[in-house]
Each structure stands twice: as structure tokens, then as C-alpha cells.
Amino acid sequence: MLEFLSGIRHLPGYLDRARQEALVEVIRTIVAEAPLYVPVMPGTGKPMSVRMTNCGPLGWVTDKERGYRYQPTHPATGRRWPDLPQELLDIWNDVAGYDKPPEACLINFYSDEARMGLHQDKDERDLQAPVVSISLGNSCLFRVGGLSRNDRTLSVKLSSGDLVVLGGEGRLCFHGVDRIHPATSTLLKNGGRINLTLRRVNPPS
């Protein structure tokens, strides 16, 4: 049950095994073109535990000097991000309930030790569009709160193929990943978890 803030939807088992495998293949080709890198915190330069890349016209990046932002190019290669694959556009069209296509897909790779502290996705200018999150590989313990950091939180297990849609009132809720559950999926041969988040950055023109 993930409805204590309206606009947060958990769709368990949304993607069947074949669609999960197809997505992993697509992600492999994206990562070959736009390699995973270790993002660091603004100001401190502390590395995050996830590795990250993007596809789509824009990608979310962070570094010590310039902080959180969206940009059209990979910070290491300087090349444009790979295109958003049709598989992801199809998912967006099915669940987002939003006219305009996503502009960014952040690809986060979690090793079995990686975590993600509670945070809000609020670097987008368009807060009307939802954020659509796709889980692949090992399951995780996901935690969702409210609009304020100290609000009560709820923990939910997310499994491979699950979707979470953060929209409406839930668009700016705090959320994070407390734990990856090792060896809970056979999708990724080397373990870990991939999370894809589809975001609309700019308001419709």
C-alpha cells in the first residue's frame, strides 16, 4: 500500500520478465555509449554510492562546483546523451498521464552496498509532470515520506519490474533507498539493482 500521499502509485509486477530483459539489453547499449560514472555532492565533493548515467535530450548531473542540474551532454565524454528508447517512451505514455514526453531518464546503478538518502526530486522546472521510476534486478527497501523531511515515512519493498509513479501531491515527496536485498533477482548476472527515472524537465511550451 503506497497511497498515504495521494499521487504516489506503486505498480508491482508492471513489467514481465521478457520486458525486463529487453530493457536491460537497451540499458547495456546506452551505458556502452554513455558510461556510468560516480556523481559527487555539491560543495563537499563526497562521492555518492550509486553509479549513474542518463539517456534523453537532458540528463541529471551533479558535481562539486556546479551542483545539481540538467544538461544535454555527458560530463565525462562531452557527448550528447543517447536517445530515449521506445520501450521507455511506451511506459511513460502508459502510466504518466501527461501530454509531453519525458526529457530525461536518469539511470542509477546500485551495487548491493549502495544506498540513496532521503531526498526530493525538485530540479525540474515542470512539477506538473510525474516522475516514473522503474526497478530492475535485486529488490530494495524503498522509503517514502511527505513534503517535509521530518514527516512520517513508510517503507516498501520494490522488486524487479515494479513501477512507482510520483505525481500530483506526491510529486515532491521525500524518498530514498535504505537497502538493496542481495541475490533476490536473477535479472542482472552480476547482482545489484538498476533504477530508471523518467522526468519531464521543462514545462510544455
Query: In the set 20, 84, 121, 200, which binds DNA (CB under 7 A)?
Result: 121
Is 48 a binding residue for DNA by CB under 7 A? The answer is: yes
Cα dist from 132 to 32, 36, 141, 142, whole Å: 24, 21, 17, 14
Neighbours of 201 (CB within 10 A): 18
In the bound state with DNA, the residue whose beta carbon lies nearer, of 83 and 151, is 151
In the bound state with DNA, the residue whose beta carbon lies nearer, of 49 and 128, is 49
Q: Residue 189 CB, nearest distance to DNA (Å)?
A: 25
Type of residue at 185: S
Q: What number of CA atoms fall less than 13 Å from residue 178's CA on the CB side? A: 13
Binding mask 126-145 for DNA (x = CB under 7 A): ---------------x-x--
Is 2 a binding residue for DNA by CB under 7 A? The answer is: no
d(CA 31, CA 41): 22
193 is in an annotated binding site: yes
Query: In the set 111, 153, 159, 184, which binds DNA (CB under 7 A)?
Result: 153
Q: SS in 3 state form for 142-162?
A: EEECCCCCCCCCEEEEECCCC
List % helix, strand, coil for the chain (3-state, nearest 5): 15, 30, 55
197 is in an annotated binding site: yes
d(CA 74, CA 36): 10
β-sheet bridge partners, residue 165:
9, 132
Query: Which of the ranges 96-104, 161-169, 175-183, 184-192 carries the binding residues for DNA, by CB under 7 A?
Result: 175-183
Q: Residue 149 CB, nearest distance to DNA (Å)?
A: 7
91 is in an annotated binding site: no
Known binding site for Fe cation: residues? 119, 121, 175
Binding site for DNA (CB under 7 A): 41-43, 46, 48-50, 60, 67-68, 115-121, 123, 141, 143, 149-150, 152-153, 155, 176, 178-179
